Amino acid sequence: MKPAKRAAINSSAVHVFDVLRTVSNDAKPAGVSDISRRLSLTGSSVFRALTTLEATGYVSRYRNLPQFELGTMPYLLNRALLNRFELNAASRPYLGDMAQETGETVSLNARLGWYSVRICGIYGSRDIYHRDRLGELAPLHESLAGLAILAFLPEADHLKMLEFLDETGVKKPSPAAWTQSKDKIAEARKTSILTEELPMSPGFSAVAMPVRDHTGTAIASITINGPVFPSDKIPKLLSIRDQLEALIAKSPKRFVSPFAHIPANKIRLQNNKTKLAL
Amino acid sequence: MEKTVTSIENREQNKATARILTVLSSFASNIGEFGISELSQHLGMTKNMVFRAIKTLVEQDYVVRDPSGQRYQLGFRVLELQNTFSPEPTFRTLCAPYIQQIHELTGETVSLNIRALDYMVFIDGIETRKPGVWRLQIGALRALHANASGHLLLAFLEDEAIEGYIARQAALAAVNPRSSEIPLDRDALWEDIRLIRTRKYATALRQSSLPMLSAAFPIWDAENNLHGVMSVGGPNERFGPQFPALLDKLLAIMDSLCHRTRLYAANAGSEITL
């Protein structure tokens, strides 16, 4: 499945990671025959893979049944990865202030290649709230968080991103959708704010704002999702965001992404949401 | 014959795969980067084994080279390994295998305890099958000054907070002298707290008809606060002689657990989870 570019150093390990990703993406605990059918691997290969994964804490047996779900280790690795972004710990007090100010869910989304990934978030005080998850990924052009980042990247990067989408076979935005995105980007450049109505929740609104380094380039974005977003709060939220940007400007090296040394085109990710054909 | 060779190869392949997964697991801590030699020493594998495992992990983007190109860090592709349909492991889930390990090592009762205001609460554990045991009552409360776990939970609070606790206990005792099974001795408590702060674990010998020895170890969070405490204990006659010999192994098990618990903040009630 991962292919030509990623030659199999150890073919057994490649199968094991394929099995692990299948378990990761399943809504329900998965059994040997189901995984075997989906990956076109023999039942014994899948069984051996699951046995190895179980022994190392990557999957665990579901209620003593011959079905498996994700174990503790992948969650620990994800936590460790997100903790590597210095912005994660540094932004918490600011996100907390925004959550207190609005009562809504506030998240920080870091740029990772041509994706945005949620690395930190704080829930507000409201009973009805927007539930988010850490580690959520989306190509930059597909989410409000990503568009807030794109708005403060050079135009040349927009073209590079479209080339990346071509190269990886990801569904590119239609010309109409891209024009709409560009309009949003242009608006964000003027106001520093993007807004949208969330699907399935009429009247719910989401707001995103870029978080920039000392050069004015976006390294992350903040999103606020909630049932009722009071527009009179925006100036206060921008001022809190400005404080975070001031902190970043003081020591820009500290806040460089742990993956900044890897060319954006080499960062290719796939999950239920991104659905990249690699 | 061919089948035998194939099955041996498969077993070997899985051993190699298990090594790859074990090497990847080393990155599940706040230690950002590793060199081959460090991993080899840490995991007790040859440098060649570690190098081969790292090569596969780099090829798959689960591990990447750091900017210097000499060391290795966790790779971005780990982000694919999460399930949005199931919850992140709880504190009890993280500690469960370590409770088991300590029980297997000592053969004694092990408990996982957290602080709730002025009390320590048992939230998990394993009770030994041997005669003469600590009673493990999940959900039971003990005053913080009453045992080794409580002393440890107190020791890493601010001095002012400890004095506040002592004052509250004195007020309670004035109203009801039987408010705590074990009376609070302020000087002895402070002496023990100073010792705990130095050596980073607590021991207590309870003199009763069957003298009991317990040891408690801290479980640290991302910000050097305590998530809770792991405690192990049994009759002094049985556990006392073996404790000094087991101490290094107990500390190593706790160190391994804390590598995991340090990934989380203890007071993260309103934070979004994976």
Contact A21 B80 (CB under 8 A): yes
- Top pLDDT among B77 and A274 is at B77
- Interface size, chain A vs chain B, as Cβ–Cβ contacts under 8 Å: 174
Burial of A195 (C-beta count, 10 Å sphere; 0-12/13-18/19+): middle
Using CA coordinates, name the residue in chain A closest to B28.
A77
- SS in 3 state form for A184-201? HHHHHHHHCCEEEECCCC
Residue-level pLDDT at A203: 57
Give the H or E element holding residue B95.
Answer: helix B91-106
Residue-level pLDDT at A168: 86
B27 contact A CB<8A:
yes
B116 contact A CB<8A:
no
Residue-level pLDDT at A278: 35
Measuring CA to CA, how many Å separate B241 from each of B233, B235, B244, B253?
Answer: 12, 10, 7, 20
Contacts of A271 (CB under 8 A, 6+ apart): A24, A25, A137, B79, B80, B82
Contacts of A37 (CB under 8 A, 6+ apart): none
| Residues of chain A contacting B50 with CB distance shorter than 8 Å | none
Task: Yes or no: say if A51 and A35 are a contact pair by the CB < 8 Å rule.
Answer: no
Give the C-alpha separation, B111 to B231, whole Å.
5
Residues 247-266 of chain B with CB under 8 A from chain A are 260, 263-264
Q: In what order do the strands lie in the sheet with A67-70?
A: A30-31, A67-70, A59-61
Query: Residue A43 CA to chain centroid, in angstroms?
Result: 33
| pLDDT tens-digit readout, A23-57 | 998 889 999 999 999 999 999 999 999 999 999 99
On the question of pLDDT at A199 being above 70, the answer is no
Give the three-class secondary structure for A156.
Answer: helix
Backbone angles phi, psi at B91, to 5 degrees: -60, -40
How many other CB atoms are found less than 10 A from the CB of residue A63? 7
Residue-level pLDDT at B4: 43
The ipTM is: 0.91
Contact A70 B81 (CB under 8 A): yes
Mean per-residue pLDDT of chain A: 88
| pLDDT tens-digit readout, A216-251 | 999 999 999 876 666 788 899 999 999 999 999 999
- Tens of each residue's pLDDT in chain B, 274 residues: 344 444 444 555 588 899 999 999 999 999 889 999 999 999 999 999 999 999 999 999 999 999 999 999 999 999 999 988 888 899 999 999 999 999 999 999 999 999 999 999 999 999 999 887 778 899 999 999 999 999 999 999 999 999 999 999 999 988 887 777 788 999 999 999 999 999 999 999 988 888 999 999 999 999 899 999 999 999 999 999 999 999 999 999 999 999 999 999 887 778 888 8
Task: Yes or no: say if A192 and A238 are a contact pair by the CB < 8 Å rule.
Answer: yes
Query: Looking at the partner chain, which of A13, A73, A261 has a beta carbon nearest the beta carbon of B25?
Result: A73
Give the three-class secondary structure for A90.
Answer: helix
Give the C-alpha separation, A33 to A149, whole Å.
43
Q: What is the CATH number of domain A78-266?
A: 3.30.450.40
Contacts of A204 (CB under 8 A, 6+ apart): A130, A197, A198, A225, A226, A227
Give the three-class secondary structure for A231.
Answer: helix
> Which residue ranges make up each domain of chain A?
3-70, 78-266
Shortest distance, CA B57 to any CA of chain A (angstroms): 9
Residues 25-54 of chain A with CB under 8 A from chain B are 25-28, 48-49, 51-53
Give the C-alpha separation, A269 to B196, whole Å.
47
Residue-level pLDDT at B105: 97
Query: pLDDT class for A77, splitting at 50, 70, 90?
Result: very high
- Nearest CA to A181 among A137, A223, A150? A150
Shortest distance, CA B257 to any CA of chain A (angstroms): 12
Contacts of B176 (CB under 8 A, 6+ apart): none
Residue-level pLDDT at B86: 84
- What CATH number does domain A3-70 carry, 2.30.130.10, 1.10.3720.10, 3.30.360.10, 1.10.10.10? 1.10.10.10
Asked if the domains A3-70 and A78-266 are classified in one and the same CATH topology, the answer is no
